[in-house]
Structure 1
Amino acid sequence: MASKTFVAPLIRQVTTRSYAQAATASKKEARVSSSILPSKTFVAALDNGSPVTRVTVAFRAGSRYEPATELGISHVLRSAAGLTTKNANSFILARKLAQIGATVSASGDREFVYYTLEASQDNLQPALELLNNVVSNQEFRPWELDDNLPRLKFDIAALSPQVRAVDLLHKAAYRRNLGNSLFISPKRIGKVSSESLQHFATANLALNRCAVVVVGESQDKANLVAQALQLSGSGAETQESSTYFGGELRKEMGGDLAHVALAVQGAPAGSPQALALAVAAKALGCGPVTKWGADNSPLAKAVGNIGPFAAAGFNVSYSDNGLFGVVLTVPKDEANCAVKAVAGVLRNPTLSGPAIQAGKNALKLQVLGEADEGTSLAESIAAQGFYTGSVKTPAEIASTIDQLSSNDIAQALSNAGKAKLSMGAAGNLAFVPYVDEL
């Protein structure tokens, strides 16, 4: 029987409905501004009138920058966010954040690590002091790193087979730097020392490798946040360029399903080709658009009627490279024909006009939808700053998507289709063909 505990009382319903007209909601035009400080820190602000302010401090400290002898250290760095600092232990940090209703989270990808604060306008200043403490004064005490090992083990255990396949795909495609895994190997859990972590943080969490983004406040506030950071002025300057090799890696995990990520070389972030491939990935299809509905995407039509399966196009772009491909989950007995069909789509990609328009609409929905997610928007702006040195609002990005022509997308697909295939596969791989058989 359904509980009525949370049903609104009748008097409240009557009172609510008695208003003749709702108050007009105030709407503030979102304006983005950016600059580069003398310390080489990129600073940007998007003042959209939000009552909640998001502040992201990002660094070029992703897995691609890990030394060959310290693979997985970026994952440990993300996981260690919020541990004891020079000025406060982890309990005090957590307690003070709870008292002012703020949160601090750490995330990352292959290029960047993000520390993001969410706080109300009224409590922004004390929250910024705590964020500065978390980012600038980390100590990585050995006993706390030991206590943090179960969290790392949980991160690994919680990975889906599709994520594992995409991770293997990067390793097969790039071997090093961009090929480094986002996650620490289970065999290396507990092997990263406090000294190694401190050295990695000192070399990469520096002002010249930093971007500060504030969503919901002014550019002046963003400048003050950046200037208050107590970080080294100069970190590592060199960056090894990535090379696309192509190849395959497979991880036999058993089960009834095969999870395969197939891709060709894409385009670097900030280039028109990258945006065109992002549209093409959406145009290929991302599964049914209605629950329990049929998948009528070009990708699903290419795979054919082989029983239950899932297939989605994807495009990832980095500072100097990219991947364009498909993630496929299919029953193990149907893997051979399904993988070959997907490989055929990537080698000879052709999209109709309606499919391209559908891809544009889907990508615009994603971009504009992320604008409502303050954390995602702040991290996206930070990545734009690193990649291009400038920032576009979600509305401007949507307008750029509309301006892409079918010829632009066809040309980008044609160039991508000439590249060597790469594959990462996990699950039951008994009937998954090898790359040289595609």
Structure 2
Amino acid sequence: MCLLDTGSGKSDSATYYDGDTRKDAAGVVAHVTVPGKGASLLKQKEAVAFPVLQAVGAGAATKRGNINVSVGKALQGVIYDAPASCATLNASYAVACPFGFVVSADSQHIGKAVDALTRALKSGSVSSNDVNRGKAVLKAALLESYATDSSLIKQITLQAIHTKQVHSIDALLAAIDAVTQQDARGSQESWLIKACCNLANVPYASDLA
């Protein structure tokens, strides 16, 4: 998690705490969030690359469709036809913030699912097709966020608050297009485990590959 210092001072300072948060409960399903270190909005290149990588693992493009990218394939490779759902997550502010994934699966397969997804994101093994898909998804979402007066005002306000400057839509689209396969590598350290429900096979942060 990211804790912001109060009062005046450097806006890019933050303390990142690792560790586990677990709540066991009855049932046959486990829900696990695994965040690692993300990118500060003050680092523009990384701040654009992480949302592209998030879009790579955003899920199926159609209802009940397969996730035909490396993140989804990593999950399907260990659980096969067992029911499961996963998505990448990213939150960027003026300080370093989380990037990772959330996954839900039955307790029998959740350990394998968490391990496979962690390995997939840590390896940075996304293909050029994955990155191109991520760019397309992110650009579509960005254009939609500029589609109405109210959403445009919201975007301008958020940019001004977090980065102290406002970018045109053309500049933002160009920044997305500039992201390369090498840039979209994801987080390599400080993974956490936040989990609830049946935790019998949920690993601890120290167990992650």
Match of 1:267 among 34, 39, 56: 39
The residue type equivalent to 1:352 in the other structure is: S
Match of 1:311 among 83, 86, 110: 86
TM-score (norm 2): 0.86
State how 1:40-59 maps to structure 2 within 5 Å: none
Any idea what the Cα deviations from partners look like across 1:8-38, whole Å, max 9, x if unmatched? Answer: xxxxxxxxxxxxxxxxxxxxxxxxxxxxxxx
Any idea what the Cα deviations from partners look like across 1:332-360, whole Å, max 9, x if unmatched? Answer: 22111111111212321211111110111
Deviation at 1:319, TM superposition (A): 0.9
Separation in 1 of the partners of 2:18 and 2:50? 19
The residue type equivalent to 1:237 in the other structure is: S
Aligned to 2:197: 427
Secondary structure at the residue paired with 2:16? coil
Match of 2:175 among 385, 400, 421: 400
Any idea what the Cα deviations from partners look like across 1:45-97, whole Å, max 9, x if unmatched? Answer: xxxxxxxxxxxxxxxxxxxxxxxxxxxxxxxxxxxxxxxxxxxxxxxxxxxxx
Separation in 1 of the partners of 2:203 and 2:89? 21
Aligned to 2:27: 255
Are the aligned partners of 1:335 and 1:432 in contact in 2 as well (CA < 8 Å)? yes
Secondary structure at the residue paired with 1:289? coil
TM-score (norm 1): 0.43
Aligned to 2:132: 357
Are the aligned partners of 1:277 and 1:315 in contact in 2 as well (CA < 8 Å)? yes
Aligned to 1:237: 8
Secondary structure at the residue paired with 2:91? strand
State the structure with more CA Rg: 1
Secondary structure at the residue paired with 1:408? coil
Separation in 2 of the partners of 1:352 and 1:238? 41
Runs (5+) with no aligned partner, structure 2: none
More displaced 10-residue stretch of structure 1: 392-401 or 317-326: 392-401
Are the aligned partners of 1:248 and 1:423 in contact in 2 as well (CA < 8 Å)? yes
Deviation at 1:238, TM superposition (A): 4.7
Are the aligned partners of 1:263 and 1:346 in contact in 2 as well (CA < 8 Å)? no
Deviation at 1:294, TM superposition (A): 2.1
Deviation at 1:409, TM superposition (A): 2.6
Aligned to 2:152: 377
Separation in 1 of the partners of 2:82 and 2:148? 36
The residue type equivalent to 2:177 in the other structure is: D
Separation in 2 of the partners of 1:268 and 1:341? 26
Paired residue total? 203
Deviation at 1:251, TM superposition (A): 2.1
Deviation at 1:363, TM superposition (A): 0.7
Deviation at 1:239, TM superposition (A): 6.8
Write 1 or 2 for the structure with the bigger share of helix: 1
Separation in 1 of the partners of 2:179 and 2:97? 19
Separation in 2 of the partners of 1:290 and 1:319? 34
Are the aligned partners of 2:24 and 2:199 in contact in 1 as well (CA < 8 Å)? yes
Higher relative contact order, chain-length normalized (CA < 8 Å, sep 6+)? 2
Secondary structure at the residue paired with 1:347? helix
Percent identity among equivalent residues?
Answer: 29
Any idea what the Cα deviations from partners look like across 1:151-186, whole Å, max 9, x if unmatched? Answer: xxxxxxxxxxxxxxxxxxx3xxx4x448xxxxxxxx
- How has the CA–CA distance of structure 1 residues 379 and 252 changed in structure 2, closer, same or farther, with 3 Å as cutoff? farther
Cα root mean square deviation, aligned:
2.2
Matched, 1:287 2:68: no
Are the aligned partners of 1:314 and 1:327 in contact in 2 as well (CA < 8 Å)? yes
Deviation at 1:362, TM superposition (A): 0.7
Separation in 2 of the partners of 1:309 and 1:255? 15
Separation in 1 of the partners of 2:55 and 2:149? 23
Matched, 1:297 2:72: no
- How has the CA–CA distance of structure 1 residues 334 and 306 changed in structure 2, closer, same or farther, with 3 Å as cutoff? farther
Are the aligned partners of 1:267 and 1:274 in contact in 2 as well (CA < 8 Å)? yes
Matched, 1:323 2:98: yes
Separation in 2 of the partners of 1:250 and 1:373? 41
Separation in 1 of the partners of 2:90 and 2:177? 18
